[in-house]
Structure 1
Amino acid sequence: MPSSKITTLSELKDYLYLAMQLEHATLPAYLTALYSIKPGTNTDAVHILRVVAVEEMLHLSIAANLLNAVGGTPDLAHPGFVPSYPTYLPDGETDFTVGIMRFGKEAVETFKKIERPSKGDGRLVRRSYAPGTSVLGRHPKSDEMHFYSIGDFYKAIEDGFEFLEAEAQGLGKTIFTGDPKRQITSEYYYSGGGQLFAVSDLESAKRAITLVMTQGEGTPTSIYDNDGELSHFYRFDQLTHGRYYQKGDEPHHPTGPTFSVDWEASYPVKANVKLADIPAGTELYDAAQSFNQAYAKFLKAITRAFNGKPELLLTAVPLMFDFRNLITELVRNPLPDSAGHNAAPTFEIDAVTAAEALTAARQEVVA
Structure 2
Amino acid sequence: MIDATINSREELISYLDAALALEHATIPVYLTAYYSIHPTTNSDAAHIIRVTAVEEMLHLTLVANVLNAIGGSPSLIRPGFVPSYPTYLPDGENDFTVDLRPFSPEAVETFCKIERPRKAPEGDSRLVSTGASEPLLAASPTAEGFRFYSIGEFYEEIIEGLGRLAAEDPKLFCGDDSRQVGPEYFYSGGGDVIQVHDLASACRALSLIAEQGEGLDAGVYDSGGELAHYYRFRQLQFGRYYQKGDKGDAPSGPELDIDWDEVFKVKVSAKMSDYPAGSELAAAAADFNTEYGTFLALLTRSFNGEPDRLVEAIWYMFRLRDGFNRLMRNPLPGSDGLNAAPTFEITVPDEVVL
> Are the counterparts in 1 of residues 12 and 158 from structure 2 also a CA contact under 8 Å?
yes
State percent identity of aligned pairs. Answer: 53
The structure 1 segments of at least 4 consecutive aligned residues displaced by more than 6 Å after TM superposition are none
**Aligned match of 1:250:** 247
Q: CA deviation at 1:260?
A: 1.9
> Are the counterparts in 2 of residues 218 and 224 from structure 1 also a CA contact under 8 Å?
no
C-alpha spacing 1:82/1:217, structure 2 compared with 1 (3 Å): closer
**Aligned match of 2:322:** 325
Deviations 1:264-321 (A, max 9, x none): 2211111110000111111100100010000001111110000000000011111111
> Are the counterparts in 2 of residues 69 and 180 from structure 1 also a CA contact under 8 Å?
yes
**Aligned match of 1:57:** 57
Task: Give 2:101's aligned amino acid.
Answer: M
1:273-292 equivalences in 2 (<5 Å): 273-292=270-289
**Aligned match of 1:363:** none
Task: Give 1:9's aligned amino acid.
Answer: R
**Aligned match of 1:88:** 88
Partners of 1:338 and 1:313 in 2: CA distance: 38
Partners of 2:230 and 2:304 in 1: CA distance: 31
Which SS does the other structure have where 2:110 is aligned? helix
> Are the counterparts in 2 of residues 54 and 192 from structure 1 also a CA contact under 8 Å?
no
C-alpha spacing 1:9/1:91, structure 2 compared with 1 (3 Å): closer
Task: Give 1:235's aligned amino acid.
Answer: R
> Are the counterparts in 1 of residues 74 and 304 from structure 2 also a CA contact under 8 Å?
yes
Which SS does the other structure have where 2:145 is aligned? strand
C-alpha spacing 1:31/1:92, structure 2 compared with 1 (3 Å): closer
Alignment TM-score, normalising by the size of structure 1: 0.90
> Are the counterparts in 1 of residues 93 and 150 from structure 2 also a CA contact under 8 Å?
no
> Are the counterparts in 2 of residues 7 and 160 from structure 1 also a CA contact under 8 Å?
yes
Partners of 1:299 and 1:2 in 2: CA distance: 35
**Aligned match of 1:362:** none
Task: Give 2:166's aligned amino acid.
Answer: E
> Which consecutive unaligned segments of at least 5 residues does structure 1 have?
360-367
Task: Give 2:278's aligned amino acid.
Answer: G
> Are the counterparts in 2 of residues 5 and 159 from structure 1 also a CA contact under 8 Å?
no
User: Is 1:296–2:293 an aligned residue pair?
Assistant: yes
User: Is 1:235–2:232 an aligned residue pair?
Assistant: yes
Partners of 2:178 and 2:205 in 1: CA distance: 18
User: Is 1:23–2:23 an aligned residue pair?
Assistant: yes
Task: Give 2:293's aligned amino acid.
Answer: A
Partners of 1:128 and 1:220 in 2: CA distance: 26
Residue in structure 2 matching 1:343, options 340, 343, 347 = 340
Which SS does the other structure have where 2:195 is aligned? coil
Partners of 1:27 and 1:4 in 2: CA distance: 30
1:252-267 equivalences in 2 (<5 Å): 252-267=249-264
Deviations 1:176-216 (A, max 9, x none): 11000111111011533201021111111111111101112
Partners of 2:110 and 2:17 in 1: CA distance: 24
Which SS does the other structure have where 1:33 is aligned? helix
C-alpha spacing 1:138/1:217, structure 2 compared with 1 (3 Å): closer
**Aligned match of 1:123:** 126
Which SS does the other structure have where 2:212 is aligned? helix
Partners of 1:49 and 1:144 in 2: CA distance: 33
**Aligned match of 2:167:** 166
Task: Give 2:315's aligned amino acid.
Answer: P
Task: Give 2:114's aligned amino acid.
Answer: I
C-alpha spacing 1:4/1:102, structure 2 compared with 1 (3 Å): farther
Partners of 1:191 and 1:126 in 2: CA distance: 36
Instruction: Say which is worse superposed, 216-225 or 333-342, in terms of deviation.
Output: 216-225
**Aligned match of 2:158:** 157
Which SS does the other structure have where 2:237 is aligned? helix
Q: CA deviation at 1:20?
A: 0.4
Task: Give 1:127's aligned amino acid.
Answer: T
Deviations 1:105-148 (A, max 9, x none): 01001111111111154722222445xx4531122135522222
Instruction: Say which is worse superposed, 255-264 or 85-94, in terms of deviation.
Output: 85-94
Number of residue pairs the alignment of both structures matches = 348
Partners of 1:19 and 1:4 in 2: CA distance: 17
Deviations 1:129-169 (A, max 9, x none): 45xx453112213552222211111110000011001112x
**Aligned match of 2:139:** 138
**Aligned match of 1:9:** 9
> Are the counterparts in 2 of residues 68 and 74 from structure 1 also a CA contact under 8 Å?
yes
Which SS does the other structure have where 1:102 is aligned? coil
> Are the counterparts in 1 of residues 139 and 147 from structure 2 also a CA contact under 8 Å?
yes
Residue in structure 2 matching 1:205, options 194, 202, 207 = 202
Which SS does the other structure have where 1:125 is aligned? strand
Partners of 1:242 and 1:211 in 2: CA distance: 27
C-alpha spacing 1:134/1:220, structure 2 compared with 1 (3 Å): closer
